[in-house]
Amino acid sequence: MANDGATKAERLLQIEALLLQHPEGMTQADIARRLGVNRSTIHRYLVGLSTHIYIDDNDGNRLKIDRSAYLVNVRFTLHEAMAIHLATRLLAISIPDHNPHAASALRKLSISIKRLAPTISGHMGATADQMDADERNYGRRVTEILQLLTLAWADCRKVKIHHLHGGDNAVYEYTLCPYFIEPYSAGNSVQVIGLSQSLKGQPKLRTFKLERIDRVELLNERYLIPKEFNPQALLQDAWGIWYTNEPPERVLLKFSPQVAARVRMTHWHPSQQLYENPDGSIIWEGWIAEPREMEPWIRGWGSDCEVLAPTELRERMRVESKKWYDMYHEGCGDGSTKETY
């Protein structure tokens, strides 16, 4: 038989596991029944529980676990640490908002591999300092919104969000069940996908950009994420974050010989195929959920990229290229413009 200390340690771990499994909290009687011990035993263990386990006086004295403060023990190999370093560097570069949690995680990782790889550890610490820089303070509101949505997602609690609509700049109120949180490097932002319902509309799966969420309120009502919800399948045809219920569209792009080598170096989309032309140009083919999402990327190639299909995308780029021509053609040609600033 294990000694009393070992038994108590095991019980404390069992209590933590139960509370992690039940974010709504549990009474001492519930825990005692699950563990097959007297309620008085659980009461004696309370003093030995970690500080992130607390009694909620406003909810029937239930024991609950503070998930935002709960520490997860994890160990990484050097190559696993490098993978996290690259992911965090991408976060620091593409989403320039203040994120103390990412900085703290990276700093802990830096310390953990300092003896193993001091050079890499130093760069990780520098990235953490970069993410803590004062000039990123403007993003604190987004970080606070992300924190609330993370708690809601972890506990499967509904939230009320106040969202700024891009079309008319009006603020609309939605009840949201967060299903997934996704970074969007093309838009330098973070998006939340979930089942939303407005005051007048029907429930609908929607995506919200965190920068457009003005306020988040945690609700006590809980939800279940459908088993059939699969974010990887939902986004597999998306260029970034846009998805539809329609079949993906075939996109054909022609890249000039001057940029063909650069295009070949990167696998831009899971569906892509490349076809070589005798003159050195290449045809890029892909099946994309919403081709309009590709427009900023296409513009970045300038005249080295011609849209061949679909017709609607080609027409939009033709109209835009004419606007570019008119804008530069009407310039004075001497470095100045007709407008006075």
Q: What is the CATH number of the domain that holds 180?
A: 2.30.30
Top-confidence residue, 340 or 212: 212
What pLDDT is attached to residue 319?
94
| Single pTM value for the model | 0.72
What pLDDT is attached to residue 167?
65
Q: Are residues 259 and 289 in the same domain?
A: yes
User: pLDDT tens digits, residue range 307-332?
Assistant: 999 999 999 999 999 998 888 887 65
Tally of domains within the chain: 4
Least confident range of 13-17, 225-229, 288-292: 13-17
Does residue 293 carry a pLDDT above 50? yes
Does residue 193 carry a pLDDT above 50? yes
User: pLDDT tens digits, residue range 118-158?
Assistant: 888 888 888 888 777 655 555 567 888 988 999 999 889 99
User: pLDDT tens digits, residue range 63-117?
Assistant: 888 877 777 777 788 888 888 878 877 776 666 666 777 788 888 888 888 888 8
What pLDDT is attached to residue 200?
76
Around Cβ 192, how many Cβ atoms within 10 Å?
Answer: 26
Q: Is residue 148 part of a domain?
A: no
Q: Is residue 242 part of a domain?
A: no
What pLDDT is attached to residue 313?
97
Q: What is the CATH number of the domain that holds 25?
A: 1.10.10.10
Q: What is the CATH number of the domain that holds 310?
A: 3.30.70
Least confident range of 164-168, 180-184, 271-275: 164-168
pLDDT mean over 263-273? 95
Mind giving me the DSSP string for 148-186? HHHHHHHHTEEEEEEEE-TTT--EEEEEEEEEEEEEEGG
Does residue 15 carry a pLDDT above 70? yes
**Dist CA 124 CA 107 (whole Å):** 7
* Phi, psi values for residue 255, rounded to 5°: -105, 140
Nearest to 150 by CA among 213, 218, 54: 218
Nearest to 219 by CA among 142, 141, 146, 155: 155
Q: Is residue 281 part of a domain?
A: yes
User: pLDDT tens digits, residue range 212-221?
Assistant: 999 999 999 9
Which residues constitute the domain of residue 117?
Answer: 78-132
Q: Is residue 43 part of a domain?
A: yes
Around Cβ 122, how many Cβ atoms within 10 Å?
Answer: 12
What pLDDT is attached to residue 229?
94
Q: Are residues 84 and 55 in the same domain?
A: no
Does residue 26 carry a pLDDT above 70? yes
Q: Is residue 241 part of a domain?
A: no
Q: Are residues 126 and 187 in the same domain?
A: no
Q: Are residues 40 and 93 in the same domain?
A: no
DSSP-H helix ranges across 165-300: 231-235, 257-265, 295-300
Does residue 340 carry a pLDDT above 50? no
- Among 49-58, 104-113, 188-197, top mean pLDDT goes to 188-197
Q: Is residue 57 part of a domain?
A: yes
Q: Is residue 140 part of a domain?
A: no
Q: Is residue 340 part of a domain?
A: no
